[in-house]
Structure formats: structure tokens, C-alpha cells
A and B are shown apart, each in its own frame.
Chain A
Amino acid sequence: MDREGDEFVRLLTASQSSLYACILAMLPDRVAAQDILQETNLTLWHKAEDFDLGTSFIAWASRIARYHVLNYRRKRNRDRLVFDGRLFNELSERLTERSEDVDHFKESLRECLKRLPAEQRDLVARRYAAGGSVKRIAQSRGQTVGAVSQILYRIRESLLNCVSQYAQEGQQ
């Protein structure tokens, strides 16, 4: 593979988490989002020669992902989709505008996780590890699902503040 081919594969590999995040935000269904990520990967591979090295890979890839999400939505009944058409358009346009933020978030998330108190880090690890679920955590802690859900929301919020701070520092 030539140098440009190597670079394309590197970008495709490195963008998997960001791309999945963009897809899940447009289509909050984890199983469908994973399928669409695979379909998007195939299209990106097919269209590799359309990509200009030096431009934003995630911005280009997320536009293609949006097309696949749209396609998926067309095949599904409205009652099986969380967002209606108008809201989906608003959200996906907003997301396309800030797709590069996702890459910045991804880069600093690990650092922000290290800054969390050990108990919170442990809770996040249990929630997002294979087989983890809020219900199981709630059972093991003797709390309600709603209470655990709110604790996790607050942790994600503090992670969001942290990654946003990193992103701002990076821009300065």
C-alpha cells in the first residue's frame, strides 16, 4: 500500500470511536449504530479516492454516516425511531458542524477519566464494560435504577466539562 493508502487506513482506524459517537447521537440505538458504522466503513473504503488528505477526515466521514442513518430511517417505521424527521435534520446538521469537536473529546477523555474520583471511575467502568447495565449496578448497590442513572448523568456531565476545557485550551 502506498503512503496515501497507509494514511487513509490510519485515519479510518483512528476515527472509529468518533464516528460511532456521531452515529449514536443521530440514531440512539446501540445495535443499529454499530451496523451503520460497519456500512459507513465500507462506503468510506469505496470512496477513499474522493477524500482529500489534509482536510478533516471526521467531517467527511460523518457526512457519509449521516447518509447511512437517513437510509436506515427510511426503512424503519416512524414509531421505531426516537426522533421525528424534522428534529433528526436539525440534530444531524448541528452535529456535522461540530464533528471535529468529537475528535477533541475523544483525545482528552482518557485524561479526564483519570481525574475522576476512584469511586466514580469504577462506576463508569462497570456501566460501560461488556455486560454492564444500570439495572445490575442498581441491584448490587441497593439503589433504584433512576438514582444510579442520575449519578451516571452527573459523572458524564463532569467529564463533558473536563473535555470541553481541554478543547478550549487546545484552541488557545
Chain B
Amino acid sequence: MKNSNSGSLRNLIARLSDGTLSPEEEDQLNQLLQADPIAQQQYLDHMLIDALLEREFGGALPHAAINGMAQITVPLGSPIASLKASGLRFLRTRAARWALTPVLAIILVAAGWLWREWNGAEIEQPQRLKLANSGFEEGQLIFKRRPSTAAWAGDIAEMIEHFSGVTPHEGSQMVRFVESVVGAEDACELYQIVELGDMAEIIASRPTSVEASAFFNAIEAEDHSAFDVTVFAFSADPAAHPDVWPTRRERALTFSGSQVRADSDTKSWQQVVARLNLPADTRYLVVRLSVFCNDSERSNSRFPGQFADNVTLNLVSL
């Protein structure tokens, strides 16, 4: 193998193994492996380890099912017992194998199906749900007591490029939580409604969860900041009735949140991830981002410097 290509080959094999190889990269991989025994060896070694790891950690089910094949199919065939008693090698005959083939086929197909179900989330990749202004790069923040679709609403916040040395996690802007007005004084919140549309059919037909993630940062640790992401599930549009959101804890089908305490490192962003198993009748989600400021010496409801960026929402079929 040419040394200059070893980095590319390594990268391409890694991407192939992880399922992220593009068609153009497939062509490159073909070219690098073509008539190059050492590169082919490297590829084979790597894919063999990859497959064995897959079986070691995720492929136990077919193994168990095939183990069961010996125990289930043979006793099933009462002819076998009698033939065994008569000393004939029934199972080693073609006729016996043809007789047992339908049973074996059913078991293998069932094993395959169960294996796929077991590994379903891997086969069916998480589906990204559309969140408006997920990186706080465009549009406007709405100062409002109720969540809206297609925009972040809630307490007073601003989209900025930098603040006291803190720069965005991704893109050119981030959101700064400025002042708590609509809720408790120690919390500043933004929320957004996501209508599930066609996705609701998936949720109704199979176990599904949603994963909401956001990155947070704060300028200092002395104020005991904390960050929170919460997802609420609703069967009807929570914006349709003014009293739904204020009583969300009672009106939501379910909700789940996750909190992280701010660290003192302004250079790194902290990720907060909330997961929620969705009831079958979920039609709307509300994602809420909150920052808490527990500084008892703070004289007003303004927040000194808490930020969020890069919010994502993924649907995962279980």
C-alpha cells in the first residue's frame, strides 16, 4: 500500500464501518483497494473485527435462536425419535432435511426478525425533528407567556455573537437568557411547540422516544447556575387554549427533563439531554430550555450571562 494513501484508506474504512460512507467515497475505497494486497488485508482485518464486535455486543439473539434450533427442531420431528431408535441416521439423510427445512426456515426468519427488532434503533436511524431557529442564527425571539410553533417564545432573551469571552457553540450566534418575567424569578425560559404531523403515525404504531439536546454555557460559577432541558408531550395543540401551558404539569400526556449544574469553564459548552418515551397519542411536543440562577444576593430578575445553542430534537423508534 502506498503510504500517502494509508490515511485516506483508514478514514474510508472507518466511515464504511460506521455507515457514513458516501457514494463518492465508495469509489475512492474501490480505487485504493484495487490490486493492493496490503490494503485489502487491512480492510479485511478491520471488517472482521468490526463484525465480531457487532455479534459480541448486539448479535446474541440469533445465536441463541440457532442454539435453540438444535433443541427445538429435532424433538419436534417424532419420526426422528423413532428413526433414531432404529439406529438410522435420519438427520443425515436428504429426505429428513427436506422435511425439516420449513421448520428451520421459520425459525431462521423469526430469528432474523427478532434480531432486527432487537437492533431496530440501529437499522432505523433517529429522525431529526424540525425545530425553528435551532441554532439561534435567524428569526426573532418572542416575549410571550405561551409557547409558539416555528419560534422560540418565553422570557426575555437575545441572540448575540459573543458575550464576556463566550462564543457560540456552533454557527455565528447563540442565545443569551436576559431576564425572567413570565415565570419564577430564578428561572429564565424559552419554549417552542413542534407539531409531529406524519411522525404521529410512527409514534402510534410502535414504541418511540424523543431525545432533546441543547448546549449551555455561563460566564461564572459563583452564581450557581443550572441548565435544564424538558420535553412535554401533548395530544392537542398546547397553543390552542391559553390555560393549557400554565397547567402543563397536569395537562401534558407526560414530560421529562434533565438538569446539569454549570461548571466554571467558559470555554467548553455543557450538553444537556432529555429523553422521553412518547405515549401513542402524542401529536405535539414542547421543548423548554431553562437556566436557573440561585444567587441570593441578586437584586433583580436579570441574568448575568447564561447561554444556550445548538438545540436538536430526535425521534427514536425503540
Binding site for B on A (CB under 8 A): 1-2, 4-6, 9-10, 12-13, 16-18, 20-25, 28, 30-31, 33-35, 37-38, 41-42, 45-46, 48-49, 79, 82-84, 86-87, 90-91, 94-95, 98, 101-102, 105-106, 109-110, 113, 124-125, 127-136, 139-140, 142, 145, 149-150, 152-153, 156-157, 159-160, 163-164
Contact = CB atoms under 8 A, between A and B. Distances in A.
B89 A109 contact: no
Interface of B: 10-11, 13-21, 23, 26, 29-30, 33-35, 37, 40-41, 43-59, 62-63, 66-67, 69-70, 74, 80, 84, 89, 91-94, 97-98, 100-101, 104-105, 108-109, 111-112, 115-116, 118-123, 125-126, 213, 215, 268-269, 271, 273, 312, 316, 318
B33 to A, nearest CB: 6
Given A2-B84, A16-B66, A142-B269, A130 B15 contact: no
B128 to A, nearest CB: 10
A20 B51 contact: yes
A129 B121 CA distance: 10
B33 A87 contact: yes
Contact of B92 (A12, A22, A49): A49
Contacts of A164: 45
Nearest to B125: A133
Given A13-B67, A17-B59, 17 more contacts: A2-B92, A20-B55, A24-B51, A28-B16, A30-B123, A34-B112, A34-B116, A45-B97, A46-B97, A46-B101, A87-B30, A94-B41, A130-B58, A130-B122, A131-B316, A142-B271, A156-B46
B85 to A, nearest CB: 12
A139 B10 CA distance: 23
Contacts of B69: 9, 13
A128 B53 contact: yes
B52 A124 contact: no
Contacts of B46: 153, 156-157, 160
Given A1-B84, A153-B17, A21 B48 contact: yes
B74 A153 contact: no
B70 A9 contact: yes
Contacts of A48: 91-92, 97
Given A94-B41, A105-B52, A128-B53, A140 B63 contact: no
Contacts of B115: 34
25 contacts: A16-B55, A16-B59, A18-B52, A20-B51, A20-B59, A21-B51, A31-B116, A38-B111, A42-B105, A46-B97, A49-B94, A79-B23, A87-B30, A90-B33, A124-B53, A128-B54, A130-B118, A130-B121, A131-B122, A131-B316, A131-B318, A135-B126, A156-B53, A157-B46, A164-B45
A83 B23 CA distance: 11
Contacts of A157: 46
Of B44, B46, B84, most buried by chain A (CB within 10 Å of CB) is B44
B56 A1 contact: no
B56 A110 contact: yes
Contacts of B104: 41-42, 45
A169 to B, nearest CB: 17
A52 to B, nearest CB: 13
B214 to A, nearest CB: 11
A73 B46 CA distance: 22
